[in-house]
Amino acid sequence: MITEQEIYRRRDMRDVFTFTIDPADAKDFDDAVSIKKIKDGIWEVGIHIADVSHYVKEDSNLDREALKRGTSVYLVNRVVPMLPKVLSNGICSLNPDEDRLTLSCIMEIDDSGQVVNHTIEKSVINSCARLVYDDVSDILEHDDPVQSEKLNEILAEIKMMGDLAEILRNKRKHQGSLDFDLDEAVIEVDEYENPIRIEVEERRISVDELVTAAKDGSLEEVFGTGTAAVISPVGKIVDHGREICMPSGMAEMGPVTKKLYETLTGIQMGRIEAPEGWILEIDAK
Report yes or no on 107 lying in a domain.
Answer: yes
Same domain, 26 and 138: yes
Q: Do the domain assignments include residue 121?
A: yes
**What's the pLDDT band for 27 if we cut at 50, 70, 90?**
confident
Range of the domain at 29: 4-51+92-179+205-219
- Render pLDDT for 241-285 as a digit per residue (tens, 0 to 9): 444 444 444 344 455 455 666 666 666 666 666 666 555 554 444
Residues 215 and 244 in one domain: no
At residue 4 the predicted structure's pLDDT band, cuts being 50, 70 and 90, is: very high
Give the tens place of pLDDT for each residue, 171-189. 877 777 766 667 778 888 9
Strands of 73-164 (E only): list them: 73-74, 79-80, 99-110, 115-126, 129-132
* Of the residues 168, 189, 219, the one at which a domain ends: 219
169, 195, 219 - which closes a domain: 219
Instruction: Name residue 63's amino acid.
Output: D
Residues 109 and 146 in one domain: yes
Residue 138 and residue 268 in one domain: no
pLDDT for 3: 93
Do 150 and 265 lie in a common domain? no
Instruction: Please indicate, yes or no, whether residues 101 and 171 belong to a single structural domain of this protein.
Output: yes
CA–CA gap between residue 105 and residue 120 (Å, rounded): 4
- Count: domains in the chain: 2
Residue 193 in any domain: the answer is no
Q: Are 97 and 142 members of one domain? A: yes
Q: Are residues 122 and 254 in the same domain?
A: no
195, 219, 243: which is the final residue of a domain?
Answer: 219
For residue range 125-156, list pLDDT tens digits in order: 999 999 998 898 889 888 999 999 999 999 99
Residues 35 and 115 in one domain: yes
Q: How much is the pLDDT for 56?
A: 93
Q: What is the mean pLDDT of residues 206-211?
A: 70
Q: 250 and 124 in one domain?
A: no
C-alpha R_g of the chain? 22
In this prediction, residue 95 has a pLDDT band, given cuts at 50, 70 and 90, of very high
Q: Establish if 72 belongs to a structural domain.
A: no
For residue 62, tell me if it sits in a domain. no
Burial of 212 by CB count in 10 Å (0-12 exposed, 13-18 middle, 19+ buried)? middle
On whether both 126 and 211 belong to a single domain, the answer is yes
Distance between CA atoms of residues 244 and 179, nearest Å: 26
Does 138 map to a domain?
Answer: yes
Does 68 reside within a domain? no
Q: Could you tell me if 210 and 271 lie in one domain?
A: no
Beta carbons of 120 and 104 less than 8 angstroms apart: yes
Q: What is the DSSP letter of 239?
A: E
Q: Is residue 195 part of a domain?
A: no
